[in-house]
Structure 1
Amino acid sequence: MNNDTLIREKLTLPNEGKKLLLHSCCAPCAGEVMEALIASDITFTIYFYNPNIHPRTEYDLRKEENIRFAEKHNIPFIDADYDVDHWFDLAKGMENEPEKGIRCTMCFDMRFEKTAEYAAANGFDVISSSLGISRWKNMNQINDCGVKAASRHPDMDYWTLNWRKKGGSGRMLEISKRERFYMQEYCGCAYSLRDTNRWRVSTGRDKIELGKNYYSDETQ
C-alpha cells in the first residue's frame, strides 16, 4: 500500500477535546502518529521529554530527527528538560529490573507527569504519547501511566488510542524508511543499552553501533 495515497480513518479527540499535547519518544514512533493526526485535522503540539535516553549524543540525535519531521509539517515542538540526573535518582534500586517491569513504569510515570503538568499550564485538554505504537512496549502499561498522570488535572484526558491497529505498525515502518529516520536499536536508557548489548554478544552479534543510520546509504 502506498502511504501517500492512503485513505485514513477520521480520528477525533476523546470527550470532545480541543487541543492535544503529544509526548514523543522519537521520530520513528511519532511519524505515523503525527501523519494520522494531520490527516484528521487535529490540532496538536509535540512535547519531547525523555531524560531516560542515554548517552547524551543518542538523546540529541533522536530529538533532532523528531524536530526535522515536525518542522517539515509545521508542527510546534516543545523541547523539554534533559534532567537525566533526576531520572537516575528515580531508577536507583531498579538497575536490574527487566524491560517492561517497574523501572519502565517509573520512566513512563516521570515523563507523563511532566507532560500533563505542561499541558495543564498551557491550555491542552488531551495528552497522549507515541510510545504505544512500538511493538516492544506494553500498551496497557503505557496507558495506565498516562491515565494516572492526566487524572491529576481537572478536565484532562489521556488518549488511549491503539496506534498499532488498522495498519499503524506497518505505516510506521514505511514512513521511517521514506524519511530515512535514524532507527535506534534499544529503548533508550543506560540499562536497556547494557542489556541489549549483553543479549547481542550472547547470540554472537556485535554490540549496538550508536548513531548508525541504516537508511542513509540507500538509493533514493
Structure 2
Amino acid sequence: MERRKLELPENGKKLLLHSCCAPCSGEVMEAIMASGIDFSIFFYNPNIHPRKEYDLRKDENIRFAEEHSIPFIDVDYDRDEWFKRAKGMEMEPERGIRCTMCFDMRFVRTALYAYENGFDVISSSLGISRWKNMEQINDSGVRAAAQYPGVTYWTYNWRKQGGSARMLEISKREKFYMQEYCGCAYSLRDTNSWREKNGRERIRIGEKYYGDTAKPGE
C-alpha cells in the first residue's frame, strides 16, 4: 500500500515527536520521513520502570534515530517526580486517571520544549499502540499544547492505512527490543499478577526481541 503524503496541521513547519519506544515510533518515523517533514525525536518517559527497562527502550530508540540521521533529544529520567505525582493512584486500572496524569506530565514537557526551541507542532507515537486509548492521548496532547502560544498538537491517527501492521513489520525487521508491559511499575506489577494467575512466567526484562529471542548481533 502506497503511503499517503502527510502534512502538519495549522501550516506547521517543524514537528517535535514524543517517542515512548522504538517499536511504537518506528512506523511513525518512517511515515513522517516519507512525507519530507522536518522533525526531531523527544524522549521523555519518567514512567518507565525499572531503570534497566528504561535504558533498553531508550537505546533502541536512539539506534533507530541514528540509522536515519534524525535528531534525538534525550530528557532527564525524572522518575522521583513521576512517583510523586502517581501517589494515591497506585491501584488505578490501565487507561484510568493514572495514565492521564502520565500523559499530561510527558506532553506538557514536550510542549514546553517545543515552545522554547522553535517547534510549532508536537505529536506522540503513543497513539499507534492498540493497548492505548487514542482519545485519552489526544485530549492530553491538545491540553498540553494549548498552554503554549504557537504550539499545536497533531491528532493524526497513526494506526490507520496499515500503520499498525507496518509497526510490527518494522519491529521484526529491526529486531527491536520487545517490551511486554506498558512501562510503569504498576503496569509491571499488574501484568506479572495476571501472568501468574494464568500459569505464565513472570516478565524477564531484557530478553525478548522481535523476530528473534537473541539480541541483535548475537
Task: Give the aligned partner of residue 30 of structure 1.
Answer: 25
Partner residue of 2:67 out of 67, 72, 76: 72
Q: Counterpart amino acid of 2:83?
A: F
Q: Counterpart amino acid of 1:27?
A: A
**Displacement, 1:43?**
0.4
Partner residue of 1:103 out of 74, 79, 98: 98
**Displacement, 1:217?**
4.2
2:135 pairs with 1:140: yes
* Cα distance in 1 between the residues matched to 2:28 and 2:70: 12
Q: 1:99-148: per-residue Cα shift (whole Å, max 9, x none)?
A: 00000000000000000000000000000000000000000000000000
Partner residue of 1:161 out of 135, 145, 156: 156
Partner residue of 1:54 out of 40, 49, 61: 49
Q: Which runs of 4+ in 1 moved over 6 A?
A: none
Task: Give the aligned partner of residue 84 of structure 2.
Answer: 89
Counterpart contact for 2:5–2:34, Cα < 8 Å? yes
Question: Which sections of structure 2, spanning at least 5 residues, go unmatched?
Answer: none
Task: Give the aligned partner of residue 175 of structure 1.
Answer: 170
TM-align CA RMSD = 1.3
Counterpart contact for 2:145–2:152, Cα < 8 Å? yes
2:192 pairs with 1:197: yes
Q: Counterpart amino acid of 1:122?
A: N
Partner residue of 1:208 out of 186, 203, 206: 203
TM-score of the two chains, using structure 1 as the length reference:
0.96
Task: Give the aligned partner of residue 130 of structure 1.
Answer: 125
Q: 1:17-58: per-residue Cα shift (whole Å, max 9, x none)?
A: 000000000000000000000000000000000000000010
Q: Counterpart amino acid of 1:50?
A: N
Counterpart contact for 2:49–2:185, Cα < 8 Å? yes
**Cα distance, 1:122–1:208 mapped onto 2, change above 3 Å:** same
Question: Which sections of structure 1, spanning at least 5 residues, go unmatched?
Answer: 1-5
* Cα distance in 1 between the residues matched to 2:118 and 2:131: 32
Q: 1:152-184: per-residue Cα shift (whole Å, max 9, x none)?
A: 111211000000011000000000000000010
* Cα distance in 1 between the residues matched to 2:60 and 2:129: 17
Aligned residue for 2:103, secondary structure, equals helix
Task: Give the aligned partner of residue 3 of structure 1.
Answer: none
Aligned residue for 1:38, secondary structure, equals helix
Q: Counterpart amino acid of 2:72?
A: F
* Cα distance in 2 between the residues matched to 1:154 and 1:82: 26
Q: How many residues align?
A: 215
**Displacement, 1:216?**
3.7
Counterpart contact for 2:207–2:213, Cα < 8 Å? no
* Cα distance in 1 between the residues matched to 2:110 and 2:134: 18
* Cα distance in 1 between the residues matched to 2:148 and 2:79: 25
* Cα distance in 2 between the residues matched to 1:183 and 1:169: 15
Aligned residue for 2:122, secondary structure, equals strand
